[in-house]
């Protein structure tokens, strides 16, 4: 019997030279090769508010905003976990602090959302960073536990002391007047956060962050304070989370203890697993995949948790590197069959 033996050959595309992130570009095809994925992402995100509600119904426009808020949290999580080495379960903490700050500023001082959202972003980031400051020398799971305790504790404190509206929450927060502004503003913020963070991690200060993750003793021996740079990184991530929380408060026109719910801590991690950690864009896409699925599964009632778990487990077992890590590798490689 005649058999031909073949093997699969994989080659890196020649456009990538020397080291990560440096390319030799000499034609418009190569420019397109580099720019096209970014363009597809940006255009795709911008089309979402136009397409989804008209295809699935008006309810889904809210889902896009939720997905974008989760995407901010996931970006912060991925940045902290893969570029600074801090595993943070603080999503709920950041959302809650941001949400309450915005709601309080709006209801008690009467400030409009255009002021409360930026103020809650900065204010929330300052509050979160100060509260997490004692935990910064901790690493790995210990830091994660502290970030998880804060939202649980704050939720019960608000409930027990009956402050900030207690279990009813803060009612009468101003909403967005225009739904297009509501949807597009958060999408622009997400795009800006994604490309901003991607640039940041390759700047000199970003290298310091990555140094802290790789080897904090060397960073100290290099004359840099590890705690200072961890604090800056936590400030950035908690700022993104607080921004999401403030946005959520204005979308709901309400702020309550459910903003400290664990969903905000867990879904960003799940999205990072699915999307691919360390790519920043992966967790973002993971959110735009997971949050709509979670909403869609609501029709199955309590069974949705089962489906949700199965999807997650399948990803962890069969594609644990995540979609984007896989996609990026394939995008940068030729693959062909050659005769042996």
- Which positions lie near other proteins, rule CB under 8 A? 18-20, 204-205, 207-208, 210-211, 213-215, 217-226
Nearer to other proteins, 182 or 216 (CB): 216
Min CB(90)–other proteins separation in Å:
24
Min CB(200)–other proteins separation in Å:
14
Min CB(77)–other proteins separation in Å:
19
Min CB(68)–other proteins separation in Å:
30
Min CB(47)–other proteins separation in Å:
35
Distance CA 244, CA 279 (A): 21
Distance CA 246, CA 261 (A): 15
Distance CA 294, CA 54 (A): 20
Q: Kindly provide the b/e burial profile for residues 115-134, where b requires at least 16 CB atoms within 10 angstroms of the residue's own CB.
A: ebbebbbebbbbbbbebbee
Distance CA 283, CA 326 (A): 13
Min CB(276)–other proteins separation in Å:
16
Nearer to other proteins, 207 or 314 (CB): 207
Q: Are 292 and 116 in contact (CB under 8 A)?
A: no
Helix (H) or strand (E) holding 259: none
Dihedral angle at the C-alpha atoms of 280, 285, 194, 220, nearest 10 degrees? Answer: -20
Nearer to other proteins, 221 or 338 (CB): 221
> Got the DSSP string for 200-253?
HTTSHHHHHHHHHHH-HHHHHHTT--HHHHHHHHHHHHHHHHHHHHHHHHHHHT
Strand 6-12 with 333-339, pairing:
antiparallel
Nearer to other proteins, 162 or 222 (CB): 222
């Amino acid at each position: 019997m005649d058999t031909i033996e073949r093997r699969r050959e994989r080659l890196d595309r020649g456009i990538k030279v020397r080291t990560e992130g440096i390319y030799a570009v000499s034609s418009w095809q190569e420019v397109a090769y580099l720019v096209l994925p970014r363009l597809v992402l940006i255009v795709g995100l911008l089309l979402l508010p136009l397409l989804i509600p008209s295809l699935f119904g008006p309810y889904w426009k809210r889902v896009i905003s939720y997905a974008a808020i989760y995407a901010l949290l996931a970006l912060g999580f991925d940045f902290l976990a893969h570029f600074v080495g801090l595993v943070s379960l603080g999503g709920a903490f950041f959302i809650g602090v941001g949400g309450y700050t915005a709601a309080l500023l709006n209801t008690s001082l009467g400030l409009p959302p255009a002021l409360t959202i930026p103020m809650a972003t900065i204010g929330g980031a300052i509050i979160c960073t100060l509260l997490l400051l004692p935990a910064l020398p901790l690493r790995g799971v210990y830091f994660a536990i502290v970030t998880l305790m804060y939202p649980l504790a704050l939720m019960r404190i608000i409930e027990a002391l009956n402050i900030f509206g207690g279990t009813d929450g803060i009612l009468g927060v101003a909403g967005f007047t225009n739904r297009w502004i509501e949807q597009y503003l958060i999408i622009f913020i997400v795009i800006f956060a994604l490309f901003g963070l991607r640039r940041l991690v390759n700047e000199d200060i970003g290298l310091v962050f990555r140094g802290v993750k790789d080897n904090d003793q060397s960073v100290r021996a290099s004359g840099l304070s590890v705690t200072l740079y961890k604090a800056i990184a936590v400030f950035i991530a908690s700022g993104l989370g607080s921004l999401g929380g403030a946005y959520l408060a204005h979308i709901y026109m309400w702020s309550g203890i459910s903003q400290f719910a664990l969903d905000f801590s867990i879904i960003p991690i799940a999205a990072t697993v699915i999307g691919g950690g360390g790519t920043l864009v992966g967790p973002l896409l993971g959110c735009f995949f997971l949050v709509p699925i979670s909403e869609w599964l609501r029709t199955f009632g309590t069974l949705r948790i089962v489906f949700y778990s199965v999807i997650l487990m399948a990803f962890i077992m069969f594609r644990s590197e995540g979609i984007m890590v896989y996609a990026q590798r394939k995008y940068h490689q030729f693959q062909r069959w050659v005769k042996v």
